[in-house]
Structure 1
Amino acid sequence: MMQRIFSIRFILKALAAVTVALLVGVIATGGTYALWNTSTTIAGGTVKAGAATLVVSSPLTMSSTPLYPGLTTYGAFVVTNSGDVPLQLSVQSLTGVIASSFSRSLTVSVTVDPRVGGTVADCPGLASYPWSLVSTAPTTGSLGSTLNTGASATVCVSTTLDSGAPTAAQGQSAPAFVLTIGGTQP
């Protein structure tokens, strides 16, 4: 009978030691162990990388007409998506507008003509200009238009002198500026 108690005690001690070792192992790894494990094979797929290339096909030419309060002048240029992925167009920056009473009274707005083959003559009739800058601090913003692969679009730019512009700001042409248009893959 003594032999049997010794065996049960020995087994219980061994079982306790194994349990403690397993608990220490689980805690040390910082993870959990699953009681059941499964795996599956999925069908192969193809991952493709595209090239995003946006080209200005014609330069922006703005009117040199002297501005008076409330007058809007227009310019346009053409961009072409020569890459192999569609691109969502956006204004990346507007620089070169000098901080003066004139430029603080100037609003620069940009839109994409939804018609194919649009020209600067079409710009005044467009319903909305989704991006505008009313101060000299450059900002970015979406133009709300996606340019498909191989497609071209006319980008219209307007400059408007505020109706409350100071007298010193009147009769000047819009200053030269650099407008950067970018495209991101949707």
Structure 2
Amino acid sequence: MTRRILFLMLMISMVSCTTKNVLTGENSISDDTSYFTILHYGYPNIERLMLEEVISEKWNIKHKAAAGCVIDGRLKRKIDKENKKTYAAIEKRYGKDWKLRYEKDLEDAAMKQVDIMDILITNKPFRAELEKHNIEIDGVDKEVLQLNDPDTYEVEVYGFNSSNERVNCCTLHVNTKNKTVYLIK
């Protein structure tokens, strides 16, 4: 009997201590800065998801894959319903034209990615770092995070070795205005 009561209490505490408000897709942890979660299904657009990751801090929006390529109508309607609530909450916070401004930020992030790569390609210490880790310049993958200064980005550069394992190369701060690169790690 006591095991059942303890099990029931454990289940109640797990359900009541969720970290996400399912109705709005907004996180509710007190330390969190209230990220909105937009759900996706179908074949992912990897380039767009990478750009959305760059601007996610500014917009407090995270994207999550809710289903794969094969999806039934019921699940699709459920995801669309959740996203509709999330979009309403985002509109309440950022205004009616938030989608236009968000898309503009995505375009700007894409252009900044090109600027960052142009700066890195011509930087000799960066090329030396790539050689040290046996990464070819056309095999560079990177994760970009915008810092507090709108022209400064933290760039984590990595590649993959012959056995397809990730090789971390370096972390850089790139200023696109001054065209400077600072090696951090």
Which category of TM-score, normalised to the shorter sequence, fits these structures?
under 0.3
| TM-score, length basis structure 2 | 0.20
The structure with higher relative contact order (CA 8 Å, sep 6+) is 1
Between structure 1 and structure 2, the one with the greater Rg is: 1
| TM-score, length basis structure 1 | 0.20
